[in-house]
Amino acid sequence: MNLELTDEQLALRDTVRRFLAEHAGIGAHVRPLLDDPTGSTDEVWRGLADLGATGVLVPEEHGGAGLTVVDAGVVAEALGAALYPGPWLSTAVAAARALTLVDDPSLLGGIADGTTVATVALGGLERLESTGSTLSGELTSVPDAAAATALLVFADGALWAVDPTSPGITVTPRRHVDPTRKLFDARLTGVPARRLGDTPAAVVDAVTDDVLIASAADALGAADAVMHLAIEYAKVRTQFGAPIGSFQAVQHLCVDMYETVELARGGVLHALWAADGADADERHLAALRAKAFAARLASVGDLAIQVFGGIGYTWEHDAHLYLKRLLGWSAAHGGSDRYLEAIGSRLATAEGN
């Protein structure tokens, strides 16, 4: 297992970073879309598609790049560092993986070329059932539903595709801590749905794990970015005639941030590798660890604001947006306690054997 990025992956990272810096900066792109339910613009989404970022996990025979989850993690980390608010995780990871695993290519070409924006309802399923070719029930915390042209739903052992504009579906924004992530609740009443394929538990588990792992990579990018912003600030902000970075208390804050980021990086890289190269059990354990321990990345945002001092609390500064992104990740798919308990249970079972 080699956890170092290849030259090709480094080039992919640099290309995505450069595109985001030029076309989707925080001031010019992210902030204007904080109150926009779609979190995206056609120009930037099409640009990501042209880079191959939306089709990174789409097989080559369906128009995608046919790359690995590690490659997707490289893109996710760059998007997290830029606080990108659009539906990339929902479309390029969750939907692409779900469609590939059920062997239904009908939407994959559109995902690859950017004409299809899809999202998957994961972890928020409530009383949803299929009747013939319609779905009824409720979904909670569905990401990017307002931007999606296709809503993918797991119900009754199958994956279904729903048009979010169909009669009988009501989509309501869900308030939460992170304005760069768009979450919605949906009520479906006899909504027409197209059955895409069977979904045994292993398929649902694999998609869920991949989303957790890619989301952890996104959080890693956000934490790394705000850490470096704080460190650079500590070098130039002076007090009592010296840079504040020369004060031991500030140095300790910077070291704590660095330690947390690098420990999380190792776990995220291992989880990305496991999504590609490990068996289902090891992949799931790696996803649990990524969620359980990378949730600590929110502390990096908190420490960064301590370094910035009063300016870090202001609306004009980006530090609070990074903190909210990281707090949103900590809360997503449940807090870290349930994942720590799952890891502990597995370790206890293994020790008992």
Beta bridge partners of 187: 138, 170
Which uninterrupted H or E stretch holds 106? none
Question: What percent of the chain has a predicted confidence (pLDDT) above 70?
Answer: 97
* In-domain check, residue 2: no
Number of domains in the chain: 2
- Label each residue of 307-337 as H, E or C: HHHHHHHCCCCCHHHHHHHHHHHHHCCCCHH
- Supply the angle between the helices 319-331 and 201-236 in degrees, to the nearest 10: 160
Instruction: Determine contact, residues 138/186, Cβ cutoff 8 Å.
Output: yes
The answer on 191 and 48 residing in a single domain is yes
Mean of pLDDT values over 204-218: 97
Residues 313, 178 share a domain: no
Instruction: Report whether 135 contacts 193 (CB < 8 A).
Output: yes
Q: Which of the four pLDDT bands, split at 50, 70 and 90, describes residue 123?
A: low
pLDDT classification of 349: cutoffs 50, 70, 90: confident
Return the half-sphere exposure (C-beta side, CA atoms, 13 A cut-off) of residue 100.
Answer: 27
pLDDT computed for residue 336 by the predictor: 85
- How far apart are alpha carbons 267 and 258 in whole angstroms? 14
User: Considering only CA atoms, which of 12, 4, 116 is closest in space to residue 74?
Assistant: 12
Average pLDDT over residues 211-226: 97
What residue type is 268 in one-letter code? V
Pair 22, 145 in one domain: yes
**Residues 65-105: tens digit of each pLDDT:** 999 999 999 999 999 999 999 999 999 999 999 999 999 99
Of 198, 228, 246, the last residue of a domain is: 198
Question: Which of residues 159, 176, 198 is at a domain's end?
Answer: 198
Same-domain status, 194 and 209? no
Shared domain check, 124 and 254: no
Same domain flag for 76 and 210: no
- Kindly state whether residues 153 and 209 are assigned to the same domain: no
pLDDT, tens digit, for every residue of 171-187?
Answer: 999 999 999 999 999 99
Check whether residue 316 and residue 177 sit in a common domain. Answer: no
Domain limit, last residue, from 169, 198, 227: 198
β-pair type (238-239, 242-243): antiparallel
On whether residue 295 sits in a domain, the answer given is yes
Mean pLDDT of 222-240: 97
CATH assignment at residue 46: 2.40.110.10
User: pLDDT grade, residue 333 (50/70/90)?
Assistant: confident
**What's the pLDDT at 313?**
85
- The answer to whether residues 190 and 53 belong to one domain is yes
**Bridge partners, residue 188, by sequence:** 137, 169
172 and 281 both lie in a single domain: no
CATH of residue 306: 1.20.140.10
> Is the pLDDT at 268 greater than 70, yes or no?
yes
Question: Does residue 187 share a domain with residue 205?
Answer: no
Average pLDDT (40-44) is 97
Residue 245 CB partners (closer than 8 Å, separation 6+):
231, 234, 235, 237, 251, 254
What average pLDDT does range 266-293 have in this prediction? 95
- Tabulate helix, strand, coil % of the chain (nearest 5): 60, 15, 25
pTM of the model as a whole: 0.95
Classify residue 1: in a domain, yes or no. no
Q: Which two tokens stand for residue 316?
A: 């004009």
Residue 327 belongs to domain spanning: 201-352
Rounded to whole angstroms, the Cα distance separating 300 from 80 reads 14
Based on the fold, state whether residues 136 and 242 are members of the same structural domain: no
Q: What is the pLDDT, as a whole number, of residue 335?
A: 85
